[in-house]
Amino acid sequence: MRYLPLIAALCIGPGALAQTGPGGVGTSANNVLWLSADNSATVAGTAVTNWTDRSGNGNNAASPSVATRSTWVGSALNGHPMISFDGVDDEMRIPDAGSLDMNQWDIFFVSAENTAKSNNAWLAKGTSTQPNYALWSPNDGAMLMPIFDILNLLSSPAAPVGTTSSSFSLLEYTNTVIFFLFPSRTAYKAGTTIYSDASLLQLPANNANPLYLGNVQGTSGWNMDGDLAEVIIYDSPVNSTQRIIVNNYLSAKYALPLSANNIYVQDDPANGDYDHEMAGIGRTGLTNQHTDARGGVVQINNATGLGNNEFLLWGHDNAALHAIGSTDFPVGLQGRWHRVWRVNEVNAAGGAVDVGNVNITFDLTGQGPVTASDLRLLVDLNNNGVFADDAPVAIAASSVGGNLYRFAGVNALVNDRRFTLGTINLVQTSLPVELLNFEADVREDRTVHLTWATASEQNNDHYTVQRSTEGSDWIDVTTVPGAGTSLTMLEYSALDPQPRAGLNYYRLQQTDHDGHSTVSDVVSVHIGRAREELLVYPVPAQDLVNVVFRSKGQNGIRLLNDRGQQIGAPITATANGAVIDVSHLPIGTYLVAVVSESGTLTRRLIVSR
């Protein structure tokens, strides 16, 4: 059995294979950094310990100490998490690397400045007086873009981006080298130019300093008071077509408006919220093309009629990537993926165009055994949201190696249409995703009950439940036999009789008969200490918060904001405490206070969505 990887291995060149960077733009050769809070952040509780680089270059970020860890806030932006920096001491650092020392660049980031202050630092490669490149904002919410050149001159013009008041912005900063000597900078907000200049300065000077996130090296008081959801860096400016595609990827993912070239509209609720892993191909001119892209498991390329001002963009609904239990498919099939993609085939004004025939390739890594002749490409030809009344596309799939299966010369992808993948043989080509859920619950006797379910299994020998108290050092708790090969949903359970007091992290290690192992996502529970007088959970919370106290003479529970002011919230008494309804409260940090004979007990509470 295999768990489908969240991101495929990046290819080595922009022309050899599909570009697999953000929006299908870039490879590990030019996309030198890609951090996204939804995919690559490691947390201990809610504290972010590491932020793994998705670009393939290993430029991973880490907090230098426990005290400087930023906070992971789930479902903060269109259902996606963000990483919040407190403006006091939070920061992350990426060690110096050749790929991060650049004379030109293109930086995209989705951020919010929570509190305007002098020098809110978003990122910096070098010190405030000698950066290779950097981004920070002064009190007025503008963006400073300093470049340190080999003449020891510093230029820091301000671009009025206005990112204050927790309003997320989609920002971009490019630096282009003209005639091999002169840098030219441009800043964009929501896809529109807000600042541009050309300089007679020499090339930016590289340095051996780390790349800081949320601070600048060698400064005091510059820590960022704000949030980051995604940071993308290319080692040269993308072309105009790629800029449009990356902006539409970020706009769709985070539900952020674009002020120009908002051409992918399938992310709109009225169109079904196909806002996941959007990618695209297109052309705005002979030297501004992007012809081969991959988003998630879908690659599209080789458009036979791609003309100027034409694009083909696609994204999916994030439904399950398996066929077990599906019912909406044509006669002759036995199943189809629950996940569905939808396309926009349009010009920059949103009008329908025809880019010609295309190749559609699916990566079926982790999907069990596959026979190419069993696969069927399904397209919603009448665009009614149903596949059962449409015949499969009459093109056979072929294996092109590396678990990739291709439908060549497809002409059925018309603007607004949906597509997915089906099978005529669920036993021979089952298209599964195995693990459906993994949960941990604390019982009254202070043991932890763990449950999980699978949709299907392939050659599964056993599961190992593992526990950690730090989120890094794992120990085996118990082993549960697997079902071998199964095409029906199965449910499992296990017990941890002796969890540690405090936070306990659990993950599931699955091992095949051949010894290959994969691990699940991590879940956590809190075990209150016997002597602990006040317990507040879960943290972070979305709707209901449990308050348990053991102190004598309790005479009141209060909920306070981050300024210590009491705020109103429905509180229901229970046998050993209370339940607080925080579903109406804005995302943020609060304090639960209980007044007792021994004084006032407090616990921190984070509300997220």
**Residue 24 token pair:** 């299908």
Instruction: Compute the average pLDDT of residues 129-152.
Output: 80
* Position 339 pLDDT exceeds 80: yes
Contacts of 427 (CB under 8 A, 6+ apart): 487
Q: What is the per-residue pLDDT for 169? A: 85
Q: pLDDT at position 201, please? A: 61
Cα(31)–Cα(233) distance, rounded to whole angstroms?
A: 6
- Residues forming a β-bridge with 62: 50, 93
Residue spans of the domains in the chain: they are 31-235, 258-423, 435-527, 534-607
pLDDT of residue 333: 96
| Of residues 325 and 264, more confidently modeled | 264
CA distance 436 to 338: 13
Task: Give pLDDT tens digits for 464-489.
Answer: 999 987 666 788 999 999 888 776 77
Query: For position 160, what pLDDT does the model report?
Result: 63
pLDDT digits (tens, 9 = 90+) for 215-228: 999 999 999 999 99
- Our measurement of the distance from residue 289's CA atom to the centroid of its chain's CA atoms, rounded to an integer in Å, reads 26
Q: Which pair of tokens denotes residue 432?
A: 């599964």
- CATH code given to domain 258-423: 2.60.220
Per mean pLDDT, which range of 5-9, 60-64, 167-171, 425-429 is the poorest? 5-9
Could you give the angle at the alpha carbon of 276 between the alpha carbons of 272 and 174, nearest 5°? 125
> Is residue 31 within 8 Å of residue 245, measured between CB atoms?
no
Nearest to 507 by CA among 443, 541, 463: 463
435-527 and 534-607 have identical folds: yes
* 208, burial (CB in 10 Å: exposed 0-12, middle 13-18, buried 19+): exposed
Q: In what order do the strands lie in the sheet with 398-401?
A: 292-295, 298-301, 358-363, 404-410, 398-401
The per-residue pLDDT for range 549-564, each reduced to its tens digit, is 765 555 678 888 776 7
pLDDT given for residue 436 in this prediction = 77
pLDDT at 448 over 70: yes
pLDDT at 577: 81
For residue 288, the SS3 value is strand
Is this prediction's pTM over 0.85?
A: no
> Could you tell me the two tokens for 580?
């607080």
Q: Taking 80 as the threshold, does the pLDDT of residue 408 lie above it?
A: yes
pLDDT reported for residue 192: 93
Taking each continuous run of H as one helix and of E as one strand, the counts in the chain are: 1, 46
300: closest CA among 381, 396, 409?
Answer: 409
pLDDT band of residue 145 (cuts 50, 70, 90) is confident
Q: What pLDDT was estimated at residue 511? A: 84
* Collapsed DSSP state (helix, strand, coil) of residue 252: helix
DSSP line for 352-377: B-----EEEEEE-TTS----GGGEEE
- Rounded-to-integer distance, Cα 156 and Cα 297, Å: 41
* pLDDT in the model for residue 529: 52
pLDDT at position 1 is 37
SS3 (DSSP) at 262: coil
Dist CA 344 CA 78 (whole Å) = 21
Which phi and psi angles does 98 have, rounded to 5°? -60, -35
Q: How far apart are CA 77 and CA 255, in angstroms?
A: 8
Counted residue by residue, the chain has a size of: 609
For residues 137-148, average pLDDT = 80
Q: How far apart are CA 362 and CA 364, in angstroms?
A: 6
pLDDT, one tens digit per residue, over 82-91 is 999 999 999 9
Judged by average pLDDT, the poorest of 21-25, 112-116, 122-126, 327-331 is 112-116
CATH 2.60.40.1220 fits 534-607, yes or no: yes
Lowest mean pLDDT among 30-34, 171-175, 435-439: 435-439
Residue range 377-402: mean pLDDT, rounded:
96
Structure confidence at residue 168 (pLDDT) = 75
Could you read off the pLDDT of 18-49 as tens digits, one per residue? 689 999 999 999 999 999 998 878 887 788 99
Pick the residue with more confidence: 6 or 309? 309
Encoded tokens for 42: 């490691």
| CATH architecture assigned to 435-527 | Sandwich (2.60)
What are 282-323's pLDDT values in tens digits?
999 999 999 999 999 999 999 999 999 999 999 999 988 888
- The 3-state secondary structure of 93-140 reads EECCCHHHCCCCEEEEEEEEECCCCCCEEEEEEEECCEEEEEEEECCC
Tell me, what's the pLDDT at 604? 80
The DSSP annotation for 375-433 comes to EEEEE-TT-SS-STTSPPPS---EEEETTEEEEEEE----TT-EEEEEES-TTTS----
Cis amide prior to 538 (ω within 30 degrees): yes
Beta strands (DSSP E) in 139-263 are 143-144, 147-148, 154-155, 158-159, 169-178, 182-189, 192-198, 211-213, 225-234
pLDDT at 303: 98
The span from the CA of 195 to the CA of 176, in Å, is 14
Q: How would CATH label the architecture of 31-235? A: Sandwich (2.60)
d(CA 534, CA 529): 10
Helix (H) or strand (E) holding 606: strand 599-607
Which residue reads 């619950």 in tokens? 441
Is the confidence at residue 3, as pLDDT, over 60?
no
pLDDT at 596: 66
Q: What is the rounded distance in angstroms from the CA atom of residue 398 to the CA atom of residue 379?
A: 18
**pLDDT, the chain, mean:** 85
pLDDT tens sequence across 510-555 = 887 777 777 787 888 877 654 456 778 777 788 888 888 765 555 6
Residue 8 has pLDDT above 80, yes or no: no
Smallest CA-to-CA distance from 35 within 46, 24, 47, 21 is with 21
